[in-house]
Amino acid sequence: MKRQLLIYGSGRHTVPFLDYMAKATGKINPNICFIPTASGDDEEYIKRFYEVCNHLKVQPHILRVWINSYDQKQSFEEIITSMDAIVVGGGNTLNMLAIWKAQEIDKALRKAYTKGVVMGGGSAGSLCWTNGGTTDSRPKNLSIVKCLAFLDKSHCPHYNSEPTRRPLYHKNILEGKLSDGYACDDRSAIHFINEEVHTSISLDSENHSYYVFKNEGEIVEQKIESVILK
The residues annotated as belonging to the active site are 123, 158
118 contacts 26 by C-beta, under 8 angstroms: no
Strands (E), 108-215: 118-122, 130-135, 143-146, 151-156, 181-184, 188-193, 196-202, 209-215
222 vs 26, 162, 215, 227, CA distance in Å?
30, 20, 12, 16
Non-local CB neighbours of 47 within 8 Å, separated by 6+ positions: none
**Cα–Cα distance measured from residue 178 to residue 144, given in angstroms and rounded to the nearest whole number:** 8
